[in-house]
Structure 1
């Protein structure tokens, strides 16, 4: 089965599953009843994807907590990865803002990459552990803006999840949860592979201008990245600590035989609408943030970048 995850096209049947020896031993996932939140929903989604076992929404028993074949999530007052207990509510008030999702990601060895490359994770942790007021302060947004970030997808999935006492593989909600868990896992694993690739193959260009030079990241065409050439570039630049230096990205166009030129972090030093009439330009967005060009010649690509430089940033 091949799906597009919103990040990169992944052939899920060919992505290796975790090699942990207990992957096939889990028999049950237990989480709390009542209202559902993003952290317990996503934690259970990851575990459902990994283990394919039923989810029961109830209080755990002492036997559940002592049984490593039962994952107890966001309830039970115990964090013990060896016994598959993933609750955070017993942590002291001044503990780092780790939620049940954080604990499951840590157990999977994916937390550090998720924190670095999934912008949604930290706010999810804050909301679940610190509450909306403190979260809004940390996000530097008005408290009322938090509600604007919710969508009908959030409300429907959480409400449907909360309405069940038990879900198994026949449930549409369970099936969607497995898709969500699968997408997160494969995004993080394929991203790590892409970052390693970019470390080896990405080039940094300096484009001389009448003023301060433009810095661009260039990625050469290759079958290895043909499915989604631009995937991971933003994360790579941030991971390399070059987010304050870079203005442009040049990467293969997956819809054509040339290259895409785009502003990094919407740098106002570039306006690609300035080159829309150039013979090598197939398309330039009227708002100037992206262009698609037919040339593959690095010299010509650098010249197009130079022509797109705004003489004075307003």
Structure 2
């Protein structure tokens, strides 16, 4: 769908409307105008209306959530734009910050802090000049368009979000195709990624997230060492039932972190890799 411009509300800006605008800027490359939309603009499918307008209607490119009932599942304009782009489910899986942003925008800081199980004062301690300056500069101008610094930063943010989510989906599918789950002696499970050609630049990338979502019983990962011909062995989620310093004196182990969470080995045989895992297991 071709659109001519993006409209979002004037006044103070929040992460919700800012990030929703970033995604739309990257996807459509049109100016952002910060004002109250007219009825004609809300009805015009060539104008994307974000976080204002009192309507969620994808066919008319309207993405407001303020008309939803108070007990509605936390859903903000960013959520609606991610749904529009077909990225929402992956964003909920791979962007840990998204659900918190939805809560903050729809429930406020007090209820969000209670939901997170933290003190209300901790919320402000999570902000930085990155948040403050970007939102303030976005709110300061009535119009943002190509070539302006804020607009180009918004385009970059939108691009990085989309690229990350699409890349994560591709990586999860790749891990699903290529990986194996080892069950060692009926005691523990390990996610193993064999060496492939060509090899990805970061062979361990996404493996922890894959375990979290697909194989939660796995407690360690084995993956190709990108700096050598062997493998890296590491505990998942810092599971202290593994202490890899127990392997540090093995002839085929050339690196063992003193904290015990990882080793690098020149070994490539499955039997030897599993032997090292047994050696590191303390239960």
- TM class, shorter-length: over 0.9
Per the TM alignment, residue 201 of structure 1 is displaced from its structure 2 partner at its CA by 1.6
- Which residue of 32, 48, 53 corresponds with 1:55? 32
- Which residue of 154, 162, 166 corresponds with 1:177? 154
Q: Which shifted more, 86-95 or 286-295?
A: 286-295
Per the TM alignment, residue 148 of structure 1 is displaced from its structure 2 partner at its CA by 2.3
Per the TM alignment, residue 225 of structure 1 is displaced from its structure 2 partner at its CA by 4.7
- Which residue of 217, 233, 236 corresponds with 1:264? 236
Deviations 1:52-102 (A, max 9, x none): 111111111222211111111111111111111111011111111100000
Tell me whether 1:118 sits opposite 2:95 in the alignment: yes
Q: Which residue does the alignment assign to 1:278?
A: 250
Q: Which residue does the alignment assign to 1:136?
A: 113
Q: Taking structure 2 as the reference length, what is the TM-score of the superposition?
A: 0.94
Tell me whether 1:295 sits opposite 2:237 in the alignment: no
Name the CA shift for 1:258/1:152 in 2 (closer, same or farther; >3 Å). Answer: farther
Deviations 1:80-136 (A, max 9, x none): 111111110111111111000000011111111111221111000000000111111
Per the TM alignment, residue 293 of structure 1 is displaced from its structure 2 partner at its CA by 2.0
Deviations 1:170-223 (A, max 9, x none): 112211211111111122112222222222221111223xxx722110001113
Per the TM alignment, residue 224 of structure 1 is displaced from its structure 2 partner at its CA by 5.0
Name the CA shift for 1:291/1:171 in 2 (closer, same or farther; >3 Å). Answer: farther
Distance, in Å, in 2 between the alignment partners of 1:230 and 1:187 is 16
Q: Which shifted more, 58-67 or 222-231?
A: 222-231
Deviations 1:146-170 (A, max 9, x none): 2222222222221221222111121
Structure with the higher fraction of residues in helix conformation = 2
Which secondary structure state, in structure 2, belongs to the residue aligned with residue 63 of structure 1?
helix
Distance, in Å, in 2 between the alignment partners of 1:186 and 1:177 is 14
Per the TM alignment, residue 231 of structure 1 is displaced from its structure 2 partner at its CA by 2.0
Query: How many residues were matched structurally?
Result: 283
Tell me whether 1:158 sits opposite 2:135 in the alignment: yes
Q: Unaligned regions of 5+ residues in structure 1, if any?
A: 1-21
Which secondary structure state, in structure 2, belongs to the residue aligned with residue 131 of structure 1?
helix
Distance, in Å, in 1 between the alignment partners of 2:101 and 2:273 is 41
Tell me whether 1:220 sits opposite 2:194 in the alignment: yes
Tell me whether 1:98 sits opposite 2:75 in the alignment: yes
Which secondary structure state, in structure 1, belongs to the residue aligned with residue 223 of structure 2?
strand
Q: Which residue does the alignment assign to 1:35?
A: 12
- Which residue of 162, 165, 168 corresponds with 1:188? 165
Which secondary structure state, in structure 2, belongs to the residue aligned with residue 121 of structure 1?
helix
Name the CA shift for 1:173/1:257 in 2 (closer, same or farther; >3 Å). Answer: farther
Which secondary structure state, in structure 2, belongs to the residue aligned with residue 94 of structure 1?
coil
Q: Taking structure 1 as the reference length, what is the TM-score of the superposition?
A: 0.85
Q: Which residue does the alignment assign to 1:65?
A: 42
Tell me whether 1:239 sits opposite 2:245 in the alignment: no
Distance, in Å, in 2 between the alignment partners of 1:228 and 1:132 is 37
Q: Unaligned regions of 5+ residues in structure 2, if any?
A: none
Distance, in Å, in 1 between the alignment partners of 2:145 and 2:161 is 20
Distance, in Å, in 2 between the alignment partners of 1:223 and 1:135 is 46
Per the TM alignment, residue 38 of structure 1 is displaced from its structure 2 partner at its CA by 1.0
Per the TM alignment, residue 27 of structure 1 is displaced from its structure 2 partner at its CA by 1.3
Distance, in Å, in 1 between the alignment partners of 2:261 and 2:136 is 39
